[in-house]
């Protein structure tokens, strides 16, 4: 169960304490449990929305968004901010882009990217909760955290040290493909809206992968985190827009 607890510790703020330093193999295997951890996050959001449905939707949307961020510790948002800063400040140069990503400070473009992300998430959540599609809150964290599986399976990891290196080297490829496909198929439960979410997530991932390879020759931990956030918000927006189209 160590790989599961590694994933839980890395992706959430749950107080998980590992008894010993995990091996590189266990780090690689932990990627297989990302969808399960995302399912836990989604179920918490769904339960919270269902239990608090009596309060005004505008307040419930804010509560859900804050809890969503708190559950993940803002880890992926940090990756998004670093990636946004690096993409603009790197001026197309791979080495400069990678150097900016390692800088712990957050520039104006990084801050702006987080504001835009939270604004889009909050407004889409408001519409979703107004329509009482609470169960869909399970889907978006799941689709977002399929991004690491796809990227580590298909894309070169450019850093030479860190957790990402051992994941890229020791990820069980066959098992990861099976987990990815099965997790993606869960979107069928939400009908056309869910399936369009899954397709939009795949399209977004392919585009992001292309841009990452084009700029830095592969992926880093920051770009993976950015991909999670972008896939989540794209999936959420597509679901809400599809609902309105289908209701007409």
pLDDT of residue 247: 67
Q: What is the pLDDT of residue 22?
A: 82
pTM comes to 0.95
Q: SS3 breakdown of the chain: % helix, strand, coil, rounded to 5?
A: 80, 0, 20
Tokens 């939400």 -> residue:
190
pLDDT band, residue 165 (cuts 50/70/90): confident
**C-alpha to C-alpha distance for 139 and 162, rounded to whole angstroms:** 29
What's the domain count of the chain? Answer: 1
The string of DSSP codes covering 81-118 is HHHHHHHHHTTT-HHHHHHHHH--S--HHHHHHHHHHH
- Tens digits of per-residue pLDDT, 122-147? 999 999 999 999 999 999 999 999 99
What secondary structure does DSSP assign to 145-169, as a single string? TTHHHHHHHHS-B--SSSHHHHHHH
Listed residue (75, 13, 21, 62) closest to 41, CA to CA: 13
- Taking all residues of the chain, what is their mean pLDDT, rounded to a whole number? 93
Least confident of 5-9, 60-64, 227-231: 5-9
pLDDT in tens, 1-31: 888 999 999 899 998 888 888 888 888 999 9
What's the pLDDT score for residue 106?
Answer: 84
Cβ-based neighbours of 245, under 8 Å, separated by 6 or more:
none
List the domain range (segments joined by +) for residue 162.
Answer: 2-247
Closest Cα partner for 26 from 57, 53, 46, 5?
A: 5
């Amino acid at each position: 169960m160590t790989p599961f607890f590694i994933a839980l510790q890395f992706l959430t703020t749950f107080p998980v304490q590992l008894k010993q330093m995990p091996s590189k193999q266990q780090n690689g295997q932990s990627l297989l449990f990302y969808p399960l951890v995302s399912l836990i996050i989604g179920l918490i959001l769904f339960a919270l929305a269902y239990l608090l449905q009596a309060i005004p939707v505008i307040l419930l949307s804010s509560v859900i968004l804050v809890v969503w961020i708190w559950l993940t510790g803002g880890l992926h948002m940090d990756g998004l901010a670093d990636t946004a800063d690096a993409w603009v400040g790197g001026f197309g140069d791979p080495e400069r882009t990678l150097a900016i990503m390692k800088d712990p400070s957050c520039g104006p473009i990084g801050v702006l990217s987080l504001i835009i992300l939270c604004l889009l998430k909050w407004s889409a959540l408001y519409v979703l909760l107004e329509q009482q599609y609470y169960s869909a809150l399970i889907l978006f964290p799941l689709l977002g955290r399929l991004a690491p599986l796809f990227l580590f399976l298909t894309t070169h990891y450019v850093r030479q040290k860190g957790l990402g290196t051992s994941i890229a080297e020791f990820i069980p490829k066959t098992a990861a493909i099976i987990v990815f496909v099965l997790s993606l198929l869960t979107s069928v439960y939400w009908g056309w809206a869910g399936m369009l979410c899954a397709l939009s997530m795949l399209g977004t991932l392919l585009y992001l992968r292309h841009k990452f390879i084009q700029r830095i020759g592969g992926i880093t931990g920051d770009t993976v985190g950015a991909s999670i956030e972008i896939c989540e918000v794209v999936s959420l927006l597509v679901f809400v827009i599809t609902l309105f189209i289908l209701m007409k």
